[in-house]
């Protein structure tokens, strides 16, 4: 059976692989959207913090014998604590200045983190043991079991975070603080601590994505820098600061990327940026962003 001259098996296979990539796009863009939407900070260190999550998972396994499921809890916490230290030590001094300063600072932090890891472990990278060997027969292809689990983890985390931000009292405080911090502080909320915890939560999601990515992609210092530009494009397309938009755009663009590899492989690495340009021209706020 063929669809537009393409064997159906090849088409469905690329869509499945695109969904795997989309799961990582969604998980990473979710953290970026939280940090930008609630803190108004363009966090260019997000890719490096994703990389740190993968390396912490690798170190836990190599040095302490703590496997993937333990690392899924410990590594994001480690990355979150490092992120909160960064916010307290540096980023809080840039809170009331132009966004470009925060972008430049986090870009510098990303380069430093990447260089330190490369100095310690080299640029070539290391494999991480697959925690769930085996595959599942989907009819049109055999899908590795772990990749299906990675998609499920991404979906569950994205849904849980959306509910926490949009449907809970804590989420209401966070959204109110992003609009009028003085008013929220008048109700007894410690705004500096809230900002620190929010940034830590956002980068903790990046660390979680790194752990989930470790068995799929090779753990290397450049794994974050290779992905962060694409993830920024996903956030722009979904709508800067829109949590639901980032998640939907992440999965959707992963599927589009997979389709492009089937019909026009040469454009598969640029199709997301082409879509971003169109969005910026016709809807600068993004598909789900506020038009105010």
Here the tokens at position 118 are 């490369």
**Tokens 């609009």 label which residue?**
179
pLDDT reported for residue 173 = 74
pLDDT reported for residue 8 = 66
Sequence-separated contacts (24+) of 157-166 with Cβ below 8 Å: 157/27, 157/30, 157/205, 157/208, 158/26, 158/27, 158/30, 158/247, 161/30, 161/34, 161/205, 161/243, 162/243, 162/244, 162/247, 165/34, 165/243, 166/243, 166/244
pLDDT reported for residue 39 = 86
- C-alpha span between 240 and 247 (Å, rounded): 12
pLDDT reported for residue 141 = 72
Q: Which residues of the chain carry a pLDDT beneath 50?
A: none
pLDDT reported for residue 131 = 92
Residue-wise pLDDT for 143-200, tens only, equals: 889 999 999 999 999 999 999 888 887 777 777 777 777 777 777 778 888 889 999 9
Residue 195's Cβ-side half-sphere holds a number of Cα atoms within 13 Å equal to: 24
pLDDT reported for residue 164 = 87
pLDDT reported for residue 3 = 57
Sequence-separated contacts (24+) of 152-155 with Cβ below 8 Å: 153/23, 153/72, 153/212, 154/23, 154/24, 154/26, 154/27, 154/212, 155/23
What is the four-CA torsion angle of 246, 250, 253, 254, rounded to 10 degrees?
A: 180
Q: Which domains does the chain have, with CATH numbers?
A: 2-282 (1.10.3470)
Q: Could you tell me which of 19, 10, 15, 12 has the C-alpha nearest to residue 152?
A: 19
pLDDT reported for residue 290 = 64
């Amino acid at each position: 059976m063929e669809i537009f001259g393409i064997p159906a098996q090849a088409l469905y296979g690329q869509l499945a692989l695109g969904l795997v990539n989309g799961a990582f796009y969604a998980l990473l863009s979710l953290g970026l959207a939280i940090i930008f939407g609630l803190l108004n900070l363009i966090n260019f260190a997000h890719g490096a913090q994703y990389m740190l999550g993968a390396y912490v998972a690798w170190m836990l396994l190599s040095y302490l014998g703590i496997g993937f499921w333990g690392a899924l809890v410990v590594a994001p916490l480690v990355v979150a604590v490092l992120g909160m230290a960064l916010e307290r030590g540096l980023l809080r001094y840039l809170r009331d200045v132009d966004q470009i300063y925060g972008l430049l600072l986090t870009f510098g932090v990303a380069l430093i983190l990447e260089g330190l890891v490369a100095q310690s472990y080299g640029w070539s990278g290391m494999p991480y043991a697959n925690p769930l060997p085996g595959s599942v027969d989907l009819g049109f292809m055999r899908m590795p079991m772990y990749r299906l689990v990675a998609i499920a983890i991404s979906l569950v985390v994205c849904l849980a975070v959306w509910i926490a931000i949009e449907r809970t009292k804590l989420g209401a405080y966070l959204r109110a603080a992003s609009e009028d911090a003085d008013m929220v502080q008048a109700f007894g909320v410690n705004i500096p601590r809230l900002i620190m915890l929010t940034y830590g939560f956002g980068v903790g999601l990046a660390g979680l994505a790194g752990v989930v990515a470790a068995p799929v992609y090779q753990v290397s210092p450049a794994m974050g820098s290779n992905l962060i530009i694409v993830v920024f494009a996903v956030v722009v397309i979904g709508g800067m600061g829109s949590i639901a938009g980032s998640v939907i755009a992440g999965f959707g663009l992963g599927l589009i990327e997979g389709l492009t590899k089937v019909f026009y492989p040469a454009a598969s690495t640029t199709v997301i940026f082409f879509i971003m340009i169109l969005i910026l021209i016709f809807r600068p706020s993004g598909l789900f962003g506020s038009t105010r």
